[in-house]
Structure 1
Amino acid sequence: MTGRTLESRDLENRTTDPASLPRVNFTEPDTCRLISTAYLNEPALQPLADSPDDLAILEELEMMTSPRHQSLVALPAGLSPDELIAENARYGWSYINAAFCYTHARGNRFNGPERGAWYATFGKSAVKTAQSEVAFHLSNELKNTNSLINTTRYRELLAGFSTDLHDLSKQHDQDYLAPDPARAYPAGQSLARNLFRAEANGVIYPSVRHKGGRCIAIFRPHLIQNIRPGQSWEFCWSGSLEPEIRPLEA
């Protein structure tokens, strides 16, 4: 192992030490998360049912194959069933569980494939920041399929928090806040694992996709409170990486 490699690993250890990061009280009633309305519409099995009783039976069968419903299907390796929100405990329970159960193969900025996290935005530009974050990621997915023609609708999920988080707002030179996911994600996931082991609740960080925007990544499902739906939006790609975003009537 070279001296350069040792130096790099020592730098990573220092920058991901929870004790080196400020911890602040975070109290926000209206954080914003955008999710596709495909997950908010009528149950996918409804067209197969002739009556409410039939639908109930089909939904019960569907729940047996859905990890967010605490089924027999294996959860991500780093997520315990005890952490999930009990079925019908409060509005939004399934959206919370889904955020932690379903993960990307390479993870995201502050979570690896072993467990998910709840990402949201807050502050005066919360909606615009959420739109910019969502647009960036879906634009990249569309680019990879060689088709920039797409229309997707999203709904705001508003949620409240009153907890303590580690504040990364002044850590601009760190790899985990880099625009390039290939550079940022490994560093951010390393930081998140160290913070999680230190019993941290999550992080506050500046948006990389919307200047001045502020984001949070929440590590623990029970911290997410008072979920309610907000405005719906339509994102339309017509051959460009930048979608047209317009509000939908309620």
Structure 2
Amino acid sequence: MNLQLINDRALVRLIPATYHKPPVLRGLVDSDDEAELLAELEAMTNQRLKVEREGSPALDRRELAFARRSADLRVYGQSHINAAFAYTRTGGNRFNDESRGAWYCAYDLQTSAAEVGYHRTRELSFIGVYDDEARYVELLADFVGTFPSISSASHPDALQDDPALGYPAGQALARALRAEGHRGLLYQSVRHKGGRCFVAFDPHIVQNVRPGASWTFTWSGTPDYELAAAA
């Protein structure tokens, strides 16, 4: 398998803007002490906080961002990194199963938007109503290291367009790579021709997370969406 050395800055991950806001519970109380009490209640059901506290069968809590930043727990992006690995979706994604998440990002906005737009459009197709507006914010991160690199020519099974076919093959490949000690994977975008993507298997390699621009996806009756900078 081809290995590639990278030292790349500002790879783009798009997340819903609702996950980028300050803690919503803070506005319900009058003091920091009361906020801490509410945070303790939230922690009982919050998957990220639960994994930070206890870990999971597939994710040791010592792998998470706070474990390597004990001198400064307020470093920006800590919760976003941990959430990417703590939360999973039914069936998993292309290179992670339901037991453990991963950090997906792209080398440019257009590729990241195509990936996000595809999945949201697919969700809308389940109800047959393409009338939606969603705001996303960029999370930019840096990556340094040597990682495997694949394309549709070298690994057509893992990069198939149909998730029902591509995801099982991609997840099997990711398990094998992680077993060999690889911490991430460079791959050709399935949703944006010519685009390049990266998936981090290890929270520790996600570096220098910072916010970028905000964008609005709009569907107006068809599967085609418009992307515009948010005001």
Match in the other structure for 1:212 = 194
In the alignment, is residue 236 of structure 1 matched against residue 218 of structure 2? yes
Does residue 1:246 correspond to 2:210, yes or no? no
Q: Deviations over 1:121-147 (max 9, x none)?
A: 01xxx1000000000001101111232
Indicate the SS of the match to 1:45.
Answer: helix
Gaps of 5+ in 2: 68-72
Q: Does 1:227 align with 2:209?
A: yes
Matches within 5 A, 1:30-179: 30-70=10-50, 75-86=55-66, 88=73, 90-122=75-107, 126-169=108-151, 171-172=153-154, 174-179=156-161
CA shift for structure 1 position 171: 3.4
Residues of 1 paired with 2:32 and 2:40: CA distance?
Answer: 12
CA distance in 2, matches of 1:141, 1:170: 25
Whole-Å separation in 1 of the counterparts to 2:111 and 2:28: 38
1:211 alignment partner AA: K
1:244 CA drift (Å): 1.2
Instruction: Give the % identical residues.
Output: 42
Which stretch has the larger CA shift, 204-213 or 43-52?
43-52
Deviation at 1:199, TM superposition (A): 0.7
Report the more deviating stretch, 209-218 or 171-180: 171-180
The aligned length equals 226
Asked if structure 2 preserves the Cα contact closer than 8 Å seen for 1:63 and 1:71, the reply is: no
CA distance in 1, matches of 2:207, 2:148: 19
After TM superposition, give the deviation of residue 245 of structure 1 in Å.
Answer: 1.0
Using structure 1 for the length normalisation, give the TM-score: 0.84
SS of the equivalent of 1:178 reads coil
TM superposition shift of 1:243: 1.4
Kept after mapping to 2: 8 A contact 1:66/1:73: no
Task: Say what the alpha-carbon RMSD is for the aligned residues.
Answer: 1.9
Partner AA of 2:75 in structure 1? R
Task: Give the Cα separation in 1 of the matches to 2:37 and 2:43.
Answer: 10
